[in-house]
Structure 1
Amino acid sequence: MLKFFLLVNKQGQTRFSRYYNTQIQPEERVLMEAEISRKCLKRGDSQCSIFEFRNYKLAFRRYASLFFVIGFDEEKNHFAILELVQAYVEILNTYFDNVCELDIMFNIEKVHVILEEMVLNSRIVETNKNNVLAPVLEMDKASK
């Protein structure tokens, strides 16, 4: 099961967060995000992008100036998590035509909707780009 999904920039600022574990208090989340971002920023290119943090496993990938970080539990397939990150980035790139940090900051609701189409109740349900983007594009048409 997924526990959380974070997008963090190179300065360690959280740009997006989605928690599937509601037992973590907001104050604890802020401290945890800061510690996670420091750990991800410290890791070199030759180090593994999956590591343990507290009682979670973390998988992260860096794309341009953003780190995509997923916290999950032991029984989840590590490669499936990295594939989820890859699929999410590809879908964001398609929707925003080369996504950047500003796209995420100014369209945070779309970023949430896209993730919600992919992950439901902390489980990966869809990774097909067309299936994920179809409802988002319909919402865009309806809002015009």
Structure 2
Amino acid sequence: TTASFPQQGDRGFPSAAAAPAGRAPPRPRPAAAMQFMLLFSRQGKLRLQKWYVPLSDKEKKKITRELVQTVLARKPKMCSFLEWRDLKIVYKRYASLYFCCAIEDQDNELITLEIIHRYVELLDKYFGSVCELDIIFNFEKAYFILDEFLLGGEVQETSKKNVLKAIEQADLLQEEAETPRSVLEEIGLT
């Protein structure tokens, strides 16, 4: 007896007719494509916002106000997921800050919770036990860490070590640029 391997068109391989001529097969969906992320305090003060979908400032303010009120009104023992408009809201409270993300209905809430947790871990590593004041007074670093971690609402780098290394390198470049140099050093004579 001879072994028969699946040929194109058999059940084991997709047929050439599976994708329309001239079109690439559909791109697989990411595990969680975030629409936006909000950080706000227990008092409802917005501390950080990152939008991955184009919206007017008026719409952003309306969404922010509505979500802050909704999340703050929920009891601590309630589920961290809620359906809102045509999105799912995933939130988690760490100390005095709420981290709130909006994802599409078919996206995975648990992955989004992990993304929130990973961001908090990155902030903790960088600031050494992050607190609300760190976010207030170093908001540009909080945004930079988020941008190194997420790109377009999707995880770009899963390694905490790599994210922190990129931030450390950027800090060194910034320190180097801020260090005063003599005129001779500027023109390369020393």
TM-score normalised by L of structure 2: 0.72
SS at match of 2:77: coil
Q: Report the counterpart of residue 52 of structure 2 in structure 1.
A: 20
Contact kept? 1:84, 1:127, Cα under 8 Å: no
Partner residue, 2:150? 119
Distance 1:40 1:127 in 2: 28
Q: Which of the pair has more CA radius of gyration?
A: 2
Aligned to 1:130: 161
Q: Give the SS at the match of 2:71.
A: helix
User: Which residue of 86, 96, 101 maps to 1:65?
Assistant: 96
Name the residue aligned to 2:15. none
**Which is bigger in relative contact order (C-alpha 8 A, separation at least 6)?**
1
Report the AA paired with residue 20 of structure 1: Y
Rounded Cα–Cα distance in structure 1 between residues aligned with 2:103 and 2:110: 12
Task: State the superposition RMSD in angstroms.
Answer: 1.0
Amino acid in structure 2 at the alignment position of 1:83: E
Contact 1:9/1:67, CA 8 A, preserved across alignment? yes
Establish whether residue 10 from structure 1 lines up as the match of residue 47 from structure 2: no
Deviation string 1:14-70 (CA, Å, 9 cap, x unpaired) is 110000001x21011112111111111111122110111112110000001000000
SS at match of 1:28: helix
Consecutive unaligned residues of structure 2, counting only runs of 5 or more, are 1-32, 176-190
Structure 1 portions without partners, runs of 5+: none
Aligned to 1:109: 140
Q: Which runs of 4+ in 1 moved over 3 A?
A: none
Alpha-carbon shift at residue 103 of structure 1 (Å) = 0.8
Match of 1:85 in 2: 116
Supply the AA of the counterpart residue of 1:13. K
Residues in 2 aligned to 1:128 and 1:47: alpha-carbon distance in whole angstroms: 31
| Residue 77 of structure 2 corresponds to residue 43 of structure 1 | no
Aligned residues: 143
**% identical aligned pairs:** 36
Secondary structure at 2:88 match in 1: strand
3-state SS of 2:76 partner: coil
- CA shift, 1:77, in A, is 1.2
Q: Is this contact kept in 2: 1:2–1:123, CA < 8 A?
A: yes
Q: Which structure's residues are more often strand, by fraction?
A: 1
